[in-house]
Amino acid sequence: MIDHFEIKVVEFEKCLKFYSSALKPLGIVLKWSDSSAAGFGTTHEPNVRFLIEKSESSTKSHIAFKAKDEASVASFYEKGLATSGICNGKPGIREHYAPNYFAAFLFDPDGNNIEAVVYL
């Protein structure tokens, strides 16, 4: 349904490091970057699906990335914390969403709510 999406970030370098690390366990890698933008995509295709662009201001977003299993969600969380992410919900079941909704939430360096989720 979605070809790609982009968010504006103020802390571009910190966000570049955060996303490069936190998204890797989800099979999402940096495809290219320059001094003001970066594009990420899945390891199995050449397309860019998620972009960050340096900006003077940002609008807070909630982005949920699909994970393949609970271990990927946990690794996303740990790698994100290690690269400037802030906990917004440890890995676990979120029964208030669905009985099989396993997710973790982090704030990126710009305060965006970034989630990894798998349905068990």
Q: How many domains, the chain?
A: 1
Give the tens place of pLDDT for each residue, 70-104: 999 999 999 999 999 999 999 999 999 999 999 99
pLDDT, residue 52, reads: 97
pLDDT, residue 2, reads: 80
46-50 contact pairs (CB < 8 A, 24+): 47/4, 48/4, 49/2, 49/3, 49/4, 49/5, 50/4, 50/5, 50/6, 50/19, 50/23
pLDDT, residue 22, reads: 98
pLDDT, residue 34, reads: 97
Give the mean pLDDT of the chain: 96
CATH of the domain at 99: 3.10.180.10
Please give the residue that has the higher pLDDT: either 118 or 2.
118
Host domain of residue 18: 5-119
pLDDT, residue 58, reads: 85
Give the tens place of pLDDT for each residue, 14-29: 999 999 999 999 999 9
